[in-house]
Amino acid sequence: MPLSRRSLLKSASLSLLGLTILPPFLARAAEALPSGRRKVLVTLFLRGGADGLSLVPPVGDPGYFRLRPNLALGAPGSGEDAALRLDDTFGLHPGLAPLMPWWSNGALAAVHAVGLPQPVRSHFDAQDFVESGTPGLKSTRDGYLNRALASLPEQPSASAFRAVALQPTLPRALAGDAPALALESLEGFRLGAPGRAAPVSFDSLYAAAVDEALRTTGVETSSALSLVADKRLADQPPSHGATYPRSPLGRRLQDLARLIHADVGLQLAATEASGWDTHILQGRERGPFAQRVKDLGESLAAFATDLGPRLEEVLVVVFTEFGRTAHENGNRGTDHGTGGAVLVLGGKVRGGRVHGPWKGLSEPYLLDGRDVPSLTDIRTVLAEALVTHCGLATPEAVFPGLGARPALLGLLGG
pLDDT at 29: 28
CA distances from 38 to 33, 188, 226, 268, 382 (A): 14, 26, 21, 10, 18
pLDDT at 219: 40
pLDDT at 188: 80
pLDDT at 190: 53
Residue 13's nearest CA partner among 243, 234, 180, 205 is: 180
Give me the domains of the chain, ranges plus CATH numbers.
40-188+236-397 (3.40.720)
Residues 6+ apart with CB under 8 A from 227: 32, 33, 160, 161, 233, 262, 264
Name residues of the chain where pLDDT drops below 50. 1-36, 191-220
Task: Calculate Rg over the CA atoms of the chain.
Answer: 22
Classify the C-alpha dihedral 275-172-20-255 as positive or negative. Answer: negative
pTM: 0.85
pLDDT at 324: 98
CA distances from 281 to 52, 70, 94, 332 (A): 16, 10, 18, 5
CA atoms of 139 and 290, how far apart (whole Å): 37
CA distances from 311 to 50, 96, 305, 383 (A): 25, 19, 9, 20
For the purposes of burial, counting CB atoms within 10 Å of the CB of 5, is it exposed (0-12), middle (13-18) or buried (19 or more)?
A: middle
pLDDT at 1: 32
Collapsing DSSP to helix, strand or coil, 379 comes out as helix
The neighbour count for residue 251, using CB atoms within 10 Å, is 18
Residue 147's nearest CA partner among 123, 178, 112, 111 is: 178
Is residue 83 within 8 Å of 94, Cβ to Cβ?
yes
